[in-house]
Amino acid sequence: MTLSTTTVKNSYSGNGSTTAFTYDFAINSTSELVVIIRSSTGTETTKSITTHYTVADAGASGGTVTMGSAPASGETLVLIRDTSLTQGTDYVANDPFPAETHESALDKLQMQIQEVQEEVDRSLKISRTNTMTSTSFTDNAASRASKVLSFDSSGELSVTNEIGNWQGNWATSTAYSLRDIVKQNSSSDSATYKNVYICTTAHTSTGSYLTQNDTSNWAVLVEVAAFDTLSELSDTNISSLSSGHVLVYDGSDSFDNVAISGDATLAANGALTIASGAVESAMIAADAITAAKIADDAINSEHYTDGSIDTAHIADSQVTTAKIAADAVTQAKIADDAVGADQLAADAVVNASIASSAAIADSKLATISTAGKVDIGALEIDGATEMGAALADADLLIVDDGAGGTEKSMLASRIPTYVFTKVSGDATVASNGALTIAAQAVENSMLADDAVGADELAANAVVTASIVDDNVTQAKIADDAVGADQLAASAVVTASIVDDNVTQAKIADDAVGADQLAANAVVNASVASDAAIADSKLATISTANKVSIAALDIDGGTEIGADIVDADLFIIDDGAGGTNKKVLASRIKSYAAGSGATPGFAVAMAIAL
């Protein structure tokens, strides 16, 4: 075949979707087609046939490469022919001339030449009219490491340390090498002072400064001297200098020196002074003023606008009593649940601060131990659990040690001692309760009600005529003895039923100050569940039935320590569901001797009294 094109490679830009790419040059075999992907950063990756792509060769006109994955956007696909450099054609003497084989060998040679030319075209070369004595260098890898390939003073290739070797300030009597870099540091030549030079001829310096004798050995690398003052800049206009001036672009063609004026001034030392009242609200960015920017005690009420202080602007624990103006914090300003135990001052909560509808649960109260703190009328025992057993000597009762004395606990065993010592005359009672009636002491007039029971009466001894009108009292009627048949019509009236008039007393509490809390602000939920309100904070509890009998703890009380006397006081419920009152010990004696006692005890008391 013939080769009518010199093309040996094709390149395509990836788009993330195209996978089929054509090549328009001939190849001898698919193995001589190289496929390369170049990334956007310049990394080149040679792909493998079958693994990454397949080739459909169409002969002299080229063929198609199909990629397994489409080259991404930013990637470049390069298809390039790489003909093997072997020669496999063998001519046999006296055989007919192998025209096709010979032509194939010529084609392969031409392909190799084209590929070499493609590489030559990509190489650095001197022009045809230019000359270079040597295009090679002899420095080995270690010698040329970290150095650059450059041209020496003759224009020949040279491996040098760097573009130039910095030597600092120029100095006399110093051996300088080619490409050494120095600074002309002498003000003796103001036109070149501070210029940077590079050595063009190796030499040993002479003179007092670089440009005195050695100018021919150096070339200016950086010219500084001509531009070392602002006035030398072509776009700067300096005139009538004064302390505190700054350069300001005039909006046209130059920078001019001017003084800062208006709401701020600039001192010669650079200190900027802002005029009083110059900073307005519109000039301050949102959240620009932090705590670090504000001096202590710098902000007064006139410095902020109404409604400008919200929770986000107040640091934790920073609002103290001293920071709040009188009557400034109203109920509307305090967030729900914002006032806790840590925020309340001692003795801040007073009675008026507690809502009348607030029932402070007993779980919020400390044990009440102050004498006289709970009024007897405040005790409510109707709903208490009945002890469910007979009194025992070790049981404790509440007693007032003398009228107006101290409330103490008392052993139940003291009651018989107190009562029995009052029995005398025709009967006596021993300390163990044994009653002794004197002989012939019982007369008809001495018999108490119910003294004669069923055993003492003969059958049918009691008839209607034997019963005095209105003498069958409630005490004479056994439980469940009166049924529907025994009650007359309309016999039970409203007055017969005890009203349920027990309410919970309002408890005064001095825990929150009246000036800070609105009336009715403290409710039960406001008191911490673990808060024990000391009895010193409570007013005397005098509302009827306010204290349940079950809430009383007398085990730790002081025992009366003496015999009961008539002036001692007991707690009594004035009838079941009635009013709790105090009762003199002398009334117990009267009760024991009256109709309310058991028959035996009543006889003993009647004899005694």
pLDDT in tens, 139-193: 888 888 767 888 877 888 887 766 778 999 999 999 999 889 999 999 999 889 9
Q: What is the rounded distance in angstroms from the CA atom of residue 437 to the CA atom of residue 456?
A: 19
**605: pLDDT confidence band, cut at 50, 70 and 90?**
very low
Judge contact between 510 and 347, C-beta under 8 A. yes
Same domain, 411 and 547: yes
| Least-confidence region, from 131-140, 351-360, 553-562 | 351-360
Is 314 within 8 Å of 323 (Cβ atoms)?
no
Neighbours of 580 (CB within 10 A): 21
Q: Can you tell me the mean pLDDT for 94-100?
A: 90
- The Cα 474–Cα 146 span in angstroms is 126
Which residue in the block uniquely carries the two structure tokens 């093997």? 84
Query: Does some domain include residue 328?
Result: no
Residues 399-419 pLDDT 10s: 887 767 777 888 878 888 777
DSSP 425: S
Q: CA-CA distance, 5 to 508, in Å (whole number)?
A: 112
Phi, psi of 25 (to 5 degrees): -140, 155
Is residue 192 domain-shared with residue 74, that is, in the same domain? no
CATH number, domain containing residue 162: 2.10.10
Q: Any long-range contacts for 274-279 (C-beta under 8 Å, 24+ apart)? A: none
Q: What is the pLDDT of residues 325-366, one digit of tens each?
A: 666 667 777 777 777 777 777 777 777 777 777 677 777 778
Same domain? 506 vs 563: yes
- Strand 148-151 to strand 53-57: parallel, antiparallel, or no bridges (unpaired)? unpaired
Name the 3-class secondary structure at 547.
strand
Give the residue numbers spanning the domain of 72.
Answer: 9-89+100-121
pLDDT tens per residue across span 200-224: 899 999 999 999 999 999 999 888 8
Domain co-membership, 149 together with 114: no
The pLDDT value given to residue 172: 96
Q: Mark whether 367 and 444 lie in a shared domain.
A: yes
Q: Are residues 389 and 522 in the same domain?
A: yes
Total domains, the chain: 3
Inside any domain, residue 582: yes
* Locus of tokens 């672009």: 249
Written as six digits, the tokens of 284 are 């301050």
Does residue 54 sit in the same domain as residue 21? yes
* Chain Cα centroid distance, residue 494: 64
Q: Cβ-count burial of 215 within 10 angstroms (0-12 exposed, 13-18 middle, 19+ buried)?
A: middle
Sign of the C-alpha dihedral computed for residues 521, 522, 525 and 526 taken in this order: positive
User: Is pTM beyond 0.85 here?
Assistant: no
Residue 280 lies in a domain: no
pLDDT band at 499 (very low <50, low <70, confident <90, very high): low
The pairing of strands 569-574 and 396-400 is antiparallel
The answer to whether residues 104 and 173 belong to one domain is no
Whether 502 shows a pLDDT value over 50: the answer reads no
- Are residues 196 and 80 both part of a single domain? no
d(CA 81, CA 34): 6
| Cα–Cα dist 102/110, whole Å | 12
Q: How far apart are CA 566 and CA 172, in angstroms?
A: 130
Specify if 271 maps to a domain: no
